[in-house]
Amino acid sequence: MSEKRVTYELKDGIATITMDDGKRNALSPEMFKEIYAAFDQAEKDEAFVILTGREEVFSAGFDLKVMKSGGARTIAMLKAGYSLTARILEYPYPVIMACNGHVLAMGVFMLLSGDYNIGARGDFKISANEVAIGLPLPRVAEAMLRHRLNPADFQRAGILAEYFPVEAAHRAGFFDEVVDASELQARALQKAQQFKEELDMTAHRITKRRVRKDIIRHIRRSVPLDLRDALLLGVKGAMKKKGG
C-alpha cells in the first residue's frame, strides 16, 4: 500500500488539509495527486479549507529527485504544480493557508494562492529561489508573486531570489498576519469560522472569480509556455547541484 502524504479532516464545514511526507513536504507527483483529491473532496463537501504542513515545514517546493531526473514525469509534475495555483485561486469557498514553517519555490506559489495567509513565527525562511538555483522564474511563478507582494518586494523576491524571514515576509505580503506557532491552527480555525459567519458564499464565489479572472486566465495560458521552456532549457541540466 502506498504511503499517504496528505490527510483530510472535515469538521463543522471546515476541511483541514495537511501535507506531511515525513521530511520537507516535497511536491512530488504523488503529493500533487493527493492535494488535488483533497480539494475535490472539500468542494464536494462545500467546505472552507485550511491548508497546512508538517512540523516546521509548509513545503520545500517541487521534488528535486523528480526535477533532476527529467523526462515526462518531470513535465507532468511541473504541470500539476503550475495548474494548482489556478485551482486554488478559483476554489469557491475561502482558503486559509496556515504556514507552519519553511516554504520555498513551488511551495511559495501554492501559499500565495490562498485567500488569507497566516504565518507561524520562528526561524523560518520564505523564498522563491528559482534564480538562485539556475532556473529562470516561470511565468506562473511571476504572476503569483506579483499577485500578492508589494512592488519592491516582488522585485527582490523574483529577480534576486531573496530569502525572507517571517516578519519581513509579512511586511512583503506573503502573509496577512503572523502568530506564535502554538496558536497557528487555532487562529486558522478562528478565521474560517469568522468567514463562515460574515460572508455570503454565493457573493464570495462570484466576486472571487470576477476579481481573479485575469490572473486565472493568464496562468492557464502560461502553463504550456512554462512547460515548453522547461523542455527547451532542460530542467535537469539547468539546475545547480545544490537544488532548491
Q: Is the pLDDT of residue 176 over 70?
A: yes
- pLDDT at position 237, please? 58
Which residue in this structure is represented by grid cell 482558503? Answer: 95
What does the buried/exposed string (b/e) look like for 73-82 if buried means 16 or more CB atoms within 10 Å of the residue's CB? ebeebbbbbb
SS (H, E, C) the chain: CCCCCEEEEEECCEEEEEECCCCCCCECHHHHHHHHHHHHHHHHCCCEEEEECECEEEECCECHHHHHHCCHHHHHHHHHHHHHHHHHHCCCCCEEEEECEEEECHHHHHHCCCCEEEEECCCCEEECCCHHHCCCCCHHHHHHHHHHCCHHHHHHHHHCCCCEEHHHHHHHCCCCEEECHHHHHHHHHHHHHHHHHHCCHHHHHHHHHHHHHHHHHHHHHHHHHHHHHHHHHCHHHHCCCCCC
6-185+193-197: CATH number = 3.90.226.10
What is the average pLDDT across 81-106? 98
Q: Is the pLDDT of residue 243 over 70?
A: no
**What digits encode the pLDDT tens for the residues 191-203?**
999 999 999 999 9
**What digits encode the pLDDT tens for the residues 2-59?**
689 999 999 999 999 999 999 999 999 999 999 999 999 999 999 999 999 998 999 9
Its pTM stands at 0.94
Q: What is the mean pLDDT of the chain?
A: 94
